[in-house]
Amino acid sequence: MKPLSRRTVLRGAGGIAVALPFLEAMVGRTRTIHAAEGDPPPRFIVFFSANGTIEERWRPVGTQQDFLLDDPSDPGRILAPLEAFKDRLIVLDGLDMQSRNYGPGGNGHDLGMGHMLTATDLVVGPSGVGEFSHLPDGSAGGPSIDQVVANTIGSETAFRSIEFGVKAQLDLARQITSRMCYRAPFEVLPPENDPRAAFDSFFLQLGADPSELAALRTRRHSVLDRVKEDFAALDAKLGGNDRLKLEAHLQAIREVEQSLDAEGGPLPGCTLPGEPGALDPLANDNYPEVGRLQMDLMTMALTCDITRVSSLQWSTAQSGVRFSWLGQSNSHHSLSHEADNDPASRAQLTAINNWYAEQFAYLLGKLAAQPELDGSLLDNTVVLWVNEQGNGDTHSKTEIPFVLAGNYAGQLDTGRWLQYTDRSHNDLYVALLNLFGNDALSFGNPQVNGGPLENLG
């Protein structure tokens, strides 16, 4: 039988379409499931948190392959929540943003955020230089790594890339600090901060006119109720493993939809966040709940093969989020400028970064729980955790904390803590491009390229 197209959708009345996960039926029967043509598609995720780290509390202890993310004699280190995924991580220690030594810009947050994913010079906008040396309407000077990867692996999906945000609001006076994804200078890709809007755009819409979405929402009782006939026809063609996978996938969609629609929050037993319509996505105290739902939607988007490249931007480079759920009252940004001289602020900043490690672990857990052939979605994904600073107080461009997760079908040699000296983050991006099939020899500013970062595979 002819293999099922990866673009197959279940389509119902009212323009609703539901994409499918990767199924064995999408692999030709004459191929083995490990043949290159039949392998699940590669995916790439960027996960951003701001304002640097506390290096000695972030760094593992031990050796390259025999290391701990927490220290039993001094517990509470930043990466401790990732212990369950240690064998699927590469902790990258000592990489610098050497590209920040070139080009315009005098504000550390502009430079950090603008260079973080593009690794090249900033561009001054029409307003020139503003307060605190910001470039108010300036731009990164080139495409971000996620968009260059999307050029290679993102052409076959409904969305070339999907950008999710959590309180990642545009600051008109400091635009570079608010955005990280660029197709080209001044061609920014803003993140979607509202999970309900993301759900409508990426799961319900799929080509529908946006003006019809309100009527579409009132017409539907459930996405799955609208595609029953299509599902029944497809279900008859699938093997047992595919049928179980598809049913689990559709149940996950139903649970997300029900949690979005539930006035009183999730249904009993459902761990997904509650109603974003009633839950203001920009309210400070809703930050954790909105983030969890965005990660759930991201996982579904990758599972459905709606996109193969996605990013999650937690706040902005000058994050004003107050981590009230951790018992804190000061903003993240203000704490980052006090941590070097105030032990209490330092402890709070460590707790903030530890909380982000918990969110990273949540995302990895969602990916690992999604089966795909004889592995999981995480096995076919590269997840990159980035930050725009090394030390948040000094806005340092050295020792930027990077963590890689997933192993892209075994091509990354995970379970290691790699320590580098005098290497630019440009070189990391060249290595990632090569991993995804792009033969690039450099990325960003060529003056700081030293070749692909070694020892990843």
Three-class SS state of 245:
helix
Task: Report the distance separating Cα 101 and Cα 422, nearest Å.
Answer: 13
pTM check: above 0.95? no
Task: Report the distance separating Cα 297 and Cα 279, nearest Å.
Answer: 16
Q: Assess if CATH 3.40.720 describes domain 42-193+307-448.
A: yes
- At residue 202, the pLDDT reads 74
Strand partners, 67: 62
Task: Report the distance separating Cα 52 and Cα 396, nearest Å.
Answer: 8
> Which structure tokens are listed for 127?
């307003």
Task: Report the distance separating Cα 109 and Cα 426, nearest Å.
Answer: 18
Task: Report the distance separating Cα 170 and Cα 153, nearest Å.
Answer: 28
Nearest to 377 by CA among 42, 14, 24: 42
- At residue 373, the pLDDT reads 77
Task: Tell me if 89 sits within 8 A of 405, measured CB to CB.
Answer: yes
Task: Report the distance separating Cα 245 and Cα 34, nearest Å.
Answer: 18
347-357 confidence digits (pLDDT tens): 999 999 999 99
Domain ranges of the chain: 1-39+198-280, 42-193+307-448
Cα 45 to its chain centre, rounded Å, is 4
Averages of pLDDT over runs of 10 residues in the chain (457 residues) are 58 53 56 46 96 96 94 94 96 97 96 98 95 94 97 88 96 93 94 88 55 49 56 69 67 55 31 50 95 92 88 96 97 94 95 98 95 86 97 94 91 95 96 95 95 93
- At residue 25, the pLDDT reads 67
- At residue 250, the pLDDT reads 66
Residues constituting the chain = 457
Task: Report the distance separating Cα 100 and Cα 106, nearest Å.
Answer: 10
412-422 confidence digits (pLDDT tens): 999 999 999 99
Task: Tell me if 350 sits within 8 A of 80, measured CB to CB.
Answer: no
